[in-house]
Structure 1
Amino acid sequence: MSDIFLLIIAGFGAGIVNALAGGGTFLTFPALVFIGIPPVAANATSAVAVFPGYLAAALGFREEISAIPRSDLLRACLASLLGGLVGGLLLLVSSNEIFALLVPFLLLIATLAFAFQNFIQKALSQSGVRIASYGWIGLMAVSIYGGYFNGGLGIVLLALYALWGMKDLNQMNGLKNAMSFVISAISVATFAIAGIVHWPEALIMALAAIAGGFAGARLAKVLPTIFVRGFVILMGFGMAFVFFGRLMA
């Protein structure tokens, strides 16, 4: 019963964190390892567990998402799906150790890009450089990252949207959760086919993550924007710090 309670708490918390910023994996993965699941299987089970929470959170922002032109939304879904597929395939043929060296730097850059959004946009504008909204290159690059390594995906997506010039944080969060769902679909299917998912634990956490996703979406709408932005930045720097710590260990 204590293990089940831990899984429920971790899943619910992950759903809230993913809805607000991203990084829920850092709650689910340690919980699964703590109850005795091997790390590789715990990583796969964690991915399955948080997967439906993304959809729940996106539904919580359905009004904001519906305001996005359908053609742009369709382009984003296709780019995210293809990028997620490429990232998932790369994971099967590449070394986790090499990518682990890049992860903290990617998270740090993404968090800085989100934190200094206005400054970067002004600098790009003055230099004549423009990052196209819903462009295939940026979406594909981030989706490949997400398909290969899901940790901190929400932070990276929010940073990309900030560079596009998006201002409505609720809309950014809604789009982030929708694209996270699409990207994660590929890796979840891969793990399921490979047969390395611990399904009882995954289902318990998934149900809790769905509830957390709805709660997080509601919370994001009532909290002041400055608080949500601060939480996103804090989570980003925190995750980068954790991964830098792993490199130094």
Structure 2
Amino acid sequence: MIELFPVLLAGVAAGALNAIGGGGTFVALPALVAFGLPPVTANAVSRIALVPGAAASAWVYRSALVPVGATSTAALTTTSVLGGGAGACLLLVLPASSFEAAAPWLLAFATLILACGRPLSRALNRILGHSVGMSPRTVLIGQFVLAVYGGYFGGAVGILMLASWSVGLGLDTAVGNPMRVAQLAAVFLSASVLFLFTSDALSAPLLLTAMLVGAVAGGFAGAHLARRLPARLLRGVVLATAVTTTILYFLRG
């Protein structure tokens, strides 16, 4: 059990990072690989283990959840679950390598949008003379596409969500962060259930349990910390996480 303590700590760190700004996978996955798991198995274990942590964060954030435009939270969450499941099904028949080359560039674009989203949205409103806010149908279509990407590849899909909501609706990053966490849990829920039956994640039950317990603790504590951060600081943390994640993806590729 003492040997599992580093995995537990990695789960705590990953859960907390996901609750505050994202990027928890960059802690969880290397820790599992360092412990001896094959990369494919480690990816499945980390996906499954981090979902309860995201759910714990969403529970803490429940009173801070705000609708994404005029779209109901129930419709958005249902779309995320369905899209995540569809993406996970695609992963069973198609290789994820096709997204690996594009992921850093997608993240770089999303980070730029995240940094300039609200000013860009306001500028478009002034130029056009009316709001450019996305309709509920457009929001749901975009969310389904992102959820499919999240279930299929999963690379920082939360950053892409925030970028989309920022430029399309002018939603503040700090205000939208709780909904990002809730939708991440929804996207990965169906994918994780599928991985339980199609991967060999259950071949390492102790590692899975240690990572899961740590992620729940970290997700719970991280969400409480994020709720106490000033909005400007939280926006800075989310943007810094996006920049760091983008750099790490370029270095990894």
Q: TM-score, normalised by structure 2?
A: 0.90
Say which of 160, 166, 176 aligns to 1:172: 176
Q: Structure 1 residue 133: deviation in Å?
A: 5.2
Q: 1:216 to 1:94 in 2, by over 3 A?
A: same
Bigger mean CA deviation after superposition, 130-139 or 48-57:
130-139
CA contact (8 A) 1:124 1:130 kept: no
Alignment of 1:25-174 (within 5 A): 25-65=25-65, 68=67, 72-125=72-125, 126-127=127-128, 129-132=132-135, 135-163=139-167, 164-167=169-172, 169=174, 171-174=175-178
Contiguous gaps of at least 5 residues in structure 1: none
In the alignment of these two chains, the number of paired residues is 245
1:220 corresponding residue in structure 2: 226
Partner of 1:18: 18
Deviations 1:121-165 (A, max 9, x none): 124322464423572121112111211122312212222232322
Q: What is the identity, as a one-letter code, of the residue corresponding to 2:42?
A: A
Provide the alpha-carbon RMSD of the alignment: 2.0
Q: Distance in 2 between matches of 1:157 and 1:176?
A: 7
Q: CA deviation at 1:185?
A: 0.9
Q: Indicate which of 238, 242, 248 corresponds to 2:244.
A: 238
Q: Aligned partners of 2:103, 2:144: CA distance in 1, in Å? A: 17
Task: Assess if the C-alpha contact under 8 Å between 1:58 and 1:178 holds in 2.
Answer: yes
Task: Tell me the CA shift for residue 2 of structure 1.
Answer: 5.3
Superposed displacement of residue 52, structure 1: 0.2
Using a 3 Å threshold, how does the CA distance of structure 1 residues 3 and 31 change in structure 2: closer, same or farther? farther
**Offset, 1:71:** 6.6
Q: Which runs of 4+ in 1 moved over 3 A?
A: 67-71, 127-130
Instruction: Provide closer, same or farther for how the CA distance between residues 2 and 31 of structure 1 changes in structure 2, counting only shifts above 3 A.
Output: farther
**Structure 2 CA distance for aligned equivalents of residues 87 and 53 of structure 1:** 21
Of stretches 2-11 and 54-63 in structure 1, the one that deviates more from structure 2 is 2-11
Cα displacement string for residues 158-189 of structure 1 (whole angstroms, at most 9, x for unaligned residues) = 222323222372x4222111111111012101
Specify the code of the residue in structure 2 equivalent to 1:13: A
Q: 5+ residue gaps in structure 2?
A: none
1:81-137 superposed Cα distances (whole Å, 9 cap, x missing partner):
121122112222222221101111111111111111222212432246442357212
Distance 1:229 1:132 in 2: 25
Counterpart residue identity of residue 243, structure 1 = Y
Does the C-alpha gap of structure 1 residues 181 and 80 become closer, same or farther in structure 2, counting only changes over 3 Å?
Answer: same
Paired AA for residue 141 in structure 1: V
In structure 2, distance between residues paired with 1:199 and 1:48: 11
Instruction: Kindly indicate whether the alpha-carbon contact (under 8 Å) linking 1:10 and 1:27 is maintained by their aligned counterparts in 2.
Output: yes
Which stretch of the first structure deviates more once superposed, 54-63 or 216-225?
Answer: 216-225
